[in-house]
Structure 1
Amino acid sequence: MSYKKSFHRLPSKAPLTLALSAALMLPMAHAVAQDADTTEESKTAQAADAATLDRIVVTGSRIAKDTFNAVSPVQVITREETTVAGFASTTGVLQSNAVTGGSDQINNAYGGYVVNGGPGVNTLSLRGLGPTRTLMLMNGRRIAPAGSRGAVGSADLNVLPSIMISHIEVLKDGASSIYGSDAVAGVVNVVTQNKLDGGQVEFQVNVPEHGGGEEMRWSGMFGTSGDSWRVSGSLDIYDRKEIQFGQRGWASDCPREYYGRNADGSYGADDFRDPVTGEVVCWGLDAGGVTIGTLGTANAATNFFAPGSVGSGANGNVFNRWRPNAAATGSPIIGFEGVDYYTRTTYEPEMEKESLISPTTNVTGFLQGAIDVPALGNTEAYFEVLAHRRESEQNGYLQHTVDYAVGSPLLGQWGYLPAFLLAPADGSTNGRNVAARAFIGWGLYRNWQEVDFTRATAGLRGELGAGWNYDGYVSFAKSDSDYYTENRLTDRIAKAYDVVADGRGGFVCRDTSDGCVAAPVLSYDVVNGVLPQAYRDYIMQVTHGQTEYTEKTFSFGVNGPLFDMPWDAGGTVRGAFGVEYRGSEIDDTPDANSINSNLYGFTSSTPTRGKDNVQEAYAEVELPLLSGVTGAEELTLNGSVRYTDYDSYGSDKTWKLGLLYTPVSWLSIRASRGTSFRAPALFEQFLGATSGFTGSSGDPCNDWGASNDTSSNRYLNCQSLGLDPNFQQTSSITVLTKGGAETGLAAETSTSLTAGIVLQPEMPSWFGDLSIAADYYDVQVDNGVARLTGGQVLSLCYGQSPAEFTAGTGYCGLVQRDANNGLRVTTGYVNVATDIVRGWDFTVRYTRDIGPGQFRANAVITSFLEQSGKTFPDDPFRDSSGTIGSPEKTGQLNLTYALRNWSFNYGLDWVEGINGYEYYEKYNDVDYRPFYQMMIDDHFISNASVQYRGDDWTVTAGVRNLADKDPPVISSGAYTVIGNAPLYSGYDMIGRSYHMTISKKF
């Protein structure tokens, strides 16, 4: 964090002046002063302010210095840039491709998915290595994780203030030796304005052209100071409305397979078309894996089936799925016609009301201050308080099933149907086998969260004498969340099936003590989703869970000069030394129905409770070997080391060496190499047991006798169990997932290398100023934490040697087979994965006076050479670079022309085209061209804005996505999609939108 001694604190305009020089190293876009006063008086004042600067601290180092030049590239983003770009929140700019390089981010389009941190969370992942490998700081201090549910482990970007931010520093380099755990892919430091006299109010609105998703932000900040004290604060209120699928044509256009590509570039000529409507079949649920408006039964031969349907059996007329057709009176399932995979219904208009972009209201307050402490000499006591409240909500769509047991009176006229499913393991049918299952479209259900986050910091900093400074602080952070979900309860469903006649031709529950409402009798209406409201209200209840995450920190560090180099051309060797303690604890208590596995169709979980502590010591030394001599304007070596001792897994050491060489004033070369680590997140260690089920087809011993390799471990192990060679599993496989503390989960380790060159050629004045930066990066994560699936554990167990298998050791210790040959698998987090990312970051900045104004251009390109990984040590590496969600290249271009009080801005975002076929051809030897559309052309989004500055007010207005570009189209079976667009944060899902920001100072 940047700070000054009590008599000469950092001026409010100075950080942005320094940001300008940092932008020459690796800018996001133009870096401009927050206060763009251009009078001679203001320039003189700014120069005087800058002259009072002594030394500052740059992200990536703890050594105070008088220049932003550093061995590691630092990208600086000013708040001015976020305003002209039209971002309504700090979250938006941090998740943009300019920062992330095209890596996929957990954002507001993931509300209906299971993500770490719970629905509504927004996290940041650098280099595609995940948010738990990206360290978030605010004013140089950690931002603790926030969110809901048991897998809270990363900072939630929602908690960050907006108007109070001065600038953001992004270090895309491993830095665990400087900051400790998590700084594997990089570090992001959000810096607030240090000193403020006066106040400012701001209003921003973003309005999408196609409706929904309106964003509004009301902000205010204030500040005042005296000779020996200062205090400032801010309040941000941010509100975003929901965008439903139906409000975007591309999203409400139901998912289609889009088989192949035609000669003219169109898609879908080979798609299956419904013979009745002539339209391409729509896969609204799981890309066709499930259905609605359909009845499931045992196989039955029939001549009544939907046009185009193809059954099974010798004559092709055997079906086990049916849809209502009153004319099918001669059907074995009276009044139903057979349907196959392609003629099943999987889409209904109610799905268009799902949340595409989830709504949220965020309120964030920030207060900071400092006062001189005369009793301690040149010392300053300071404090910070960050308080945040998030209320977010998501609307999703549910498929429901009503199971009719063999012989149940609820079968009505279909009481003759035989069993086709064994009694579900969840007990929902009271242990009775199923004769008919109605696959029903339930409609919408709600999730909502209330998250309160607080971080309080207090510290002392000052001078020790002889140029040495110190900074010590204590900090406490707490995330407290309540999360709610509308869930169907299994025990209530079971009660609703246990019925007796009511004497009036209907049925009532046998046990009515809790207001039980009987399940409906099987009918056409039931299959079509028409359920009695009283029954719906009885089985669906609001479930409520609570999550608390706390983090306590104590840190003390000193930095200053050590000695002068023993030669004239050398400088003063400076060092930084410190100690730090952190203690963190998680306590997630799901609803009692979740703990007791009573959620129908949803994964159940038990409490997640655990804590961890770490003690650390670090040292950093910077040696200015040469300065101001021929062939070495600057030659600086930097080294750092950190010793870490975690309660959870023990001690570790990390180190980093860096070199900065400037042979001539217009050329700098920098390089660094070091190690980093990531301690397992609390949820990875202590995640409460989560129970679920997987299909019976996953049993490795199914039909084991048909294997041609009679010497394989799978064959021998299944044979040793005494199973019939034609054995087939008839029950679902129970999968229990838990944290990895019990299995000795250890920290991930990584190595990183960066090397770059910065060119600032001395050009003629008429040409303007040109700066070019190119940085190579190479990060490898070893011993990575991975969450194994039940199928992976079974495969590993049955692939072990017969001796290990019989002994039940290794992975077989996680597998149990009961007396009825039912399988139970325990899985969780283990240290087995390896990830590698390599590539280049390129930046070009050009400025030139044109006429009465100044033109400024910035271009940033991220190019991945490799994004590969493997789950197990014996697996081959698979490089996903160039696949959907992992583009090889992304780029941003920003053009600005500043003329007196006016500024005109244009931005262009680029995501390189994707060829998804190459990945599967290379690694699976499969050509998917005849089956799926997996190619995407280069994608461009343009933005434009204009800004006018008055004496104490500013107005900015603009348009994002000028061309109203829709996301690209792919096959629904090839990737997770919304409509037929890939679920990927790098593509704009909002469409053309208009933004305006009005700011007034006083």
Structure 2
Amino acid sequence: MTAPRYSLQRNALSAALVTALAFTATSAFAQDSNTASATAQTAAKDSADKATTDKPKELDNIVVTGSRIVRDTYNSVSPVQVITREETTLAGFNSTTGVLQSTGVTGGAAQVNNAFGGFVTDGGPGANTISLRGLGATRTLVLLNGRRVAPAGSRGSVGSADLNVLPNSLIDHIEVLKDGASSIYGSDAVAGVINIVTRKKVDDFRFEGQYNATEDGGGDQSRYSIAWGTSGDSFDVSGSYEHYNRNELTLGDREWTRCNTDYRGNGIGGLWGSGDTIDPLTGKPKCYPITGTGSNGVTINTIGTNTQTGVAAQGATGTTFNRWRPNSAVTTGLVGFEGVGGGQTTNTNIRDTFDPRMLNRSLISPVEVDTLFLQGSKDLGFLGGATAYFEVLGNQRKSSQTGFRQLSLDYIKGSPLIPTNLQSSTFSGPTNTSGGRNVGVRAFIGFGNDTSSQDVDFWKGLGGLRGNFFFADWTYDASISKSTSDATYTQQSFLTDRLAQSLNVVASGSGFACVNPANGCVAAPRLTTATIAGQLPQDWVNFVFRPVVGTTKYEESTANFNVTGPLFNMPGGKVQGAFGLEYRHASINDTPSIDSQNGNLYNLTSSAITRGSDSVWEAYGEMEFPLLAHVPGAEELSVNVSGRYTDYHSYGSDTTYKIGALWTPVKWFSFRASYGTSYRAPALFEQFLGATSGFLSNQNDPCNNYGTDPTSIRAKNCASEGLAPNFVATQSVAVLTAGGADAGLKAETSKNLTTGIILQPELPTAWGDLSFAADYFDIVVDNGVSRAGATNILQLCYDDPQFRSGGGFCRLVDPRNPTSQALTVHDSYVNLSQDKVRGWDFTLRYSHDIGPGTLRATTQLTHFLQQANKLFADDPLDDVNGTLNNPAYAGTMDVTYKVKNWQGRYGLEWIDNMDSADYLGLTAAQRQVFNFSVPNYYLHSVSLQYTGDKWQVTGGVRNLANKTPPVISSGAYNRVGNAPLYSGYDYVGRTYFVNIQKTF
């Protein structure tokens, strides 16, 4: 499965609005990626805190994210949202990851976080990434002090920055550019840019500790850090160390995940859940069934045989069966067993599908992170008044996940391990554990829990020089950096060869011995009721169930040279320019365990080595033309143009450009617009991912029991393949994945249009200050590099009225195996024909002195008009806007009231209702069975802060109402409990937090 958090923070609306237009003192912070002027940052914070409509203060030269032009004001043609450290502390975030993955930044777009540990995600389990506009993490560029943060993670699909590596304790603020900026920053800046800005000129020693405790237990977070620094007339140095820990939250820790049901209707307008399978053993809806996608159960405590006459289990029908459950009371037919499948029994939920150990699985996977960060500069007094500077970032992540494993154990026909009354059974032909012989009996055993873990070491070193260039008022900046991500990943797996070896036995005395005793072989347990129930000898488990280890190394080197300064005069001022060269080289080397490479992981994927490198040379330039200033009809009129020439070793060359304009006809109104292009070569893993074979459960076969809805499009398509309405898939779905370099994968291009207005009326002083901004965005990605997802491919193919004759996603599904009816899906990296995202961002901010203090309220809203894609050029656009996990609306509200040393905050986060019924093409009858809609979702948070002379205490509650996620039916979407697997919902519940800071 491929998958693609919420909370809320205040946007400093002034930041989001005014950074782009610079006509209000509530403008965004601006950070100098070359000089990182502490004076400028301080002035920016003072300005934002004042929140007036005064003319912006005169500032030292700065650079606003989204531009390389040095300026003395905050004006820019692109909208920038700024999140301050104070805001994140008041909101209760315990990590920068939580901030960036919150609704206020993402606009409701799904993110990969610690709830995805059991799914295949880019960067491997435990990695947390950021995707703006829902366009994917590889299209969002993350910067630290204006420079790239290299990818980090484990396994072969490392290609995006892991937010775990960021130095939380020394961060001053975060700048979010929600606009394409490839002509400024190069590849990846398709949907936007995240710039993490650290504090400079630190002259103190600071301790900070924060603890977030969940009310219901599990998932607690703690972070402890120290930061220090010193500076003089010609130097500064500062650093930080922090330790972050997040405890595991399991499915058993929350009531709403303890009993995953199908949550279906009865088709006649009954309550949701009334159509669920009733477990004959409990008389209640079955927990963790195996009905379809999102049911999350698995067959256990069952054996498979050829069809035989026997006694039906409670809830089953018929007299012949091929699935059986132990029952010592049965004395006829298959003695000691009752029938739970096959024959006339088509409801597979009659079988046992739930093991209490399933609740030990990770809902939120645990992680420990240690981060060390050092930065400094020294004035050299030569080379144009040069200043040498450096940064060193070291980070170690230890993450793990707990899963649950089913063991399908194939007993060879005629094996002495099979009891006498089953010796005549032939369940299937040869398998990879039967040594080329037929399988007599297959045991479906609830094996228990397994673990996987990742140790990732990330290092980045950067050094550079900046100073005055040869021309008057021109400056230069030259830097080089090297980043390395070195990971070891471990998982527990059954080894196919050892299983086969242990099942090939002969009688020996009172027991059994391996025919081939190599490697200390231990004979498999005899097929008994205890074995089927999962009571397995530990010495045998130790022999066949082994830890397997892989390694991943990702390296990136960058060299950059940039000059900036004035060119000539125009009526509105001096034309400014910035020009530079950049070189990047990256390499990946993922070496899975030898057993994975050899396909020796039983019922798991096989993976080949992923190894490759790429490099790119780029030349770029940017110019800003102040056409008019301080004249009637044009308080400001300026145009900004930028261009970049890119030459990849792998994909050749191309050019990108961006042109933007800013017009302020009167002081209280401004208009901005920009249009740009981008060119992104596929990430290394998208090019070179080693061929990987995997599988989906047979329950993912779209035709499994398709006769339950004989009028559906899917039923018609399944029937066309010659399958009976009661077809039960017995074979897993093969999934073949690989990088696309050898298949002609092409670079992707995109176009980005942004237009917006800002209103800041000059109200009477007694009315307070009001700001409003509205920005329209339209992004189109052509030849987008992506995987469609095997489950999605199958569903879209079999729900297509034209089916295989219509092409589309069915082109990626091979015809069924004529003997086994098994399916094979190709889910490699391809060039999607088009991705398209359109919508609006709205920000409203109001501040007013009320009583003894100051009230500030900020509301931010994102409205998507379209979130669509198509796989092939002749396909129609597939718009998912407003469907599950793709909200059309998402917003936040933040209200603070500050009186002297005290400050209180109320926060609201909202995600719009979503409905997938139309998207899935459900008929009126199906809508009475399947609920694929969720209501509006609201989260409330409150906090209180006291700031002393050299200390500060903040405490509060997140998810004040202890809101749980909404529920949907099984059958189309991955779920957690009955809730959609979606980062926008809070899985942990009400959380109390306290943050303590002390400066020495």
Alignment TM-score > 0.5, same fold:
yes
Q: Say if 1:245 and 1:354, in contact at 8 Å, map to a contact too.
A: yes
**Cα deviations across residues 731-785 of structure 1 (Å, max 9, x unaligned)?**
8786543211112211111111111110000111111000001111111111011
Q: Measured at CA, do residues 814 and 254 of structure 1 come closer, stay the same or move farther in structure 2, by a change above 3 Å? A: closer
Deviation at residue 926 of structure 1 after TM alignment: 7.3
Structure 2 Cα separation of the partners of residues 790 and 908 of structure 1: 36
* Distance of aligned partners of 1:5 and 1:908 in 2 relative to their CA distance in 1, 3 Å threshold: closer
Alignment counterpart, residue 644 of structure 1, candidates 646, 650, 654: 646
Q: 1:700-719 residue pairs with structure 2 within 5 A?
A: none
In the TM superposition, what is the alpha-carbon distance from 1:812 to its structure 2 partner?
11
Report the AA paired with residue 909 of structure 1. Answer: E
- In the alignment, what sits opposite 1:418? 425
Residue equivalent to 2:931: 933
**What runs of 5+ residues in structure 1 fail to find an aligned partner?**
22-30, 37-42, 311-315, 703-713, 719-727, 805-809
Structure 1 residues 927 and 185: CA distance shift in structure 2, 3 A:
farther
Q: Deviations over 1:790-842 (max 9, x none)?
A: 8979999x9999xx9xxxxx989999999999998876222133111111111
SS state at 1:514 partner: helix
How far, CA to CA, are the matches of 1:480 and 1:614 in structure 2? 23
Aligned equivalent of 1:353: 360
Distance in 2 (CA, whole Å) between partners of 1:288 and 1:479 is 34
Deviation at 1:967, TM superposition (A): 1.1
750 and 925 in structure 1: CA distance in 2 versus 1, 3 angstrom threshold = farther
User: In structure 2, how many angstroms separate the alpha carbons of the residues matched to 1:218 and 1:435?
Assistant: 58
* Secondary structure in 1 matching 2:41: helix
Alignment CA distance shift 1:884-1:767 (3 Å): same
Three-state SS of the structure 2 residue aligned to 1:411 is coil
Aligned counterparts, 1:557-956, within 5 A: 557-565=562-570, 569-693=571-695, 736-787=736-787, 828-921=828-921, 928-956=926-954
Q: Which residue of 1 aligns with 2:543?
A: 538
Secondary structure (helix, strand or coil) at the match of 2:595 reads helix
Whole-angstrom CA distance in 2 between matches of 1:888 and 1:731: 38
- Structure 1 residues 857 and 812, CA gap change in structure 2 (3 angstroms): closer
- Stretch deviating more after TM superposition (316-325 or 628-637): 316-325
In 2, Cα distance between equivalents of 1:934 and 1:822? 28
Of the three residues 303, 307, 319, the one matched with 1:295 is 303
**Quick one: structure 1 residues 952 and 495, their matched pair in 2 at CA, closer, same or farther if it must change by over 3 Å?**
same
Residue of structure 1 aligned with 2:997, choices 985, 990, 999: 999
Partner residue, 1:308: 315
Distance change (3 Å), C-alpha of 1:379 and 1:989? same
The match for 1:516 among 517, 521, 534 is 521
Letter in 1 for 2:81: Q
Gap change, CA 1:917 and 1:230, over 3 Å in 2: same
1:228-627 aligned within 5 A? 228-259=234-265, 266-283=271-288, 287=295, 290-302=298-310, 304-310=311-317, 316-332=318-334, 334-339=336-341, 340-424=347-431, 427-464=432-469, 465-504=471-510, 506-565=511-570, 569-627=571-629
Q: Deviations over 1:185-240 (max 9, x none)?
A: 11000011121111211111111111111211111111111111111111111011
Distance 1:671 1:817, change over 3 A: same
Does residue 220 of structure 1 match 2:247?
no
Q: CA deviation at 1:67?
A: 1.7
Q: Distance in 2 between matches of 1:972 and 1:799?
A: 23
Contact 2:261-2:276 at 8 Å conserved across structures: no
User: Does 2:7 align with 1:11?
Assistant: no
Identity of aligned residues (%): 51
Choose 471-480 or 375-384, whichever is displaced more: 375-384
State the 1:256 CA deviation.
2.8
Q: Shift in Å at residue 322 of structure 1? A: 1.4
Whether contact under 8 Å (1:816, 1:825) holds in the other structure is no
How far the C-alpha of 1:529 sits from its partner, in A, is 1.5
Residue type at the aligned position of 1:391: K
Cα distance in 1 for partners of 2:33, 2:882 equals: 47
Q: Residues 731 and 820 of structure 2 are in contact (CA less than 8 Å); yes or no, is this contact kept in structure 1? A: no
Structure 1 pair 466–694 and aligned structure 2 pair: CA distance change class (3 A)? same
Partner of 1:976: 974
Structure 1 residue 284: deviation in Å?
5.2
- The number of aligned residues is 936
Letter in 1 for 2:560: S
In structure 2, relative to structure 1, the CA distance for the partners of 1:926 and 1:129 (3 Å cut) is farther
Taking a change above 3 Å as real, the CA distance of residues 479 and 960 of structure 1, as seen in their structure-2 partners, is same
Indicate if the aligned counterparts of 1:417 and 1:436 stay in contact, CA closer than 8 A. Answer: no
Indicate conservation of the 8 Å contact 2:486/2:552, yes or no. yes
Structure 1 position 123 matched with structure 2 position 129: yes
Amino acid at match of 1:983: L
1:706-741 per-residue CA deviation (whole Å, 9 max, x = no partner) reads xxxxxxxx99xx9xxxxxxxxx99987865432111
Alignment check: 8 A CA contact 1:209 1:994 kept: yes
* Letter in structure 2 aligned against 1:852: P
* Residue type of the alignment partner of 1:519: A
Deviations 1:386-425 (A, max 9, x none): 110001111111111111122111111233333232212x
Aligned-partner residue type, residue 96 of structure 2: T
The 8 Å contact of residues 16 and 167 in structure 1, kept in 2 or not, is answered as: no
In the aligned structure 2, how far is the partner of 1:269 from the partner of 1:448? 40
TM-score by length of 2: 0.88
Per-residue CA deviation, residues 362-406 of structure 1 (Å, 9 max, x unaligned), is 011110001111131311111001110001111111111111122
Name the CA shift for 1:19/1:301 in 2 (closer, same or farther; >3 Å): farther
Q: Using a 3 Å threshold, how does the CA distance of structure 1 residues 699 and 56 change in structure 2: closer, same or farther?
A: closer
Q: 1:393 to 1:824 in 2, by over 3 A?
A: closer
Q: Distance in 1 between matches of 2:106 and 2:305?
A: 50
Helix, strand or coil at the partner of 2:333: coil
Report the residue type matching 2:545 in the other structure: M
Q: Say which SS state the counterpart of residue 163 (structure 1) adopts.
A: helix
1:17–1:291 distance in 2 versus 1, CA, 3 Å:
farther
- SS of structure 1 residue aligned to 2:490: strand
Unaligned 5+ runs, structure 2: 1-29, 342-346, 705-716, 722-727
Tell me which residue corresponds to 2:710. none
Question: Which letter does structure 1 place at the counterpart of 2:369?
Answer: N
Q: Is the 8 A contact 1:260 1:929 kept in 2?
A: no
Other structure's SS at 1:272 match:
coil
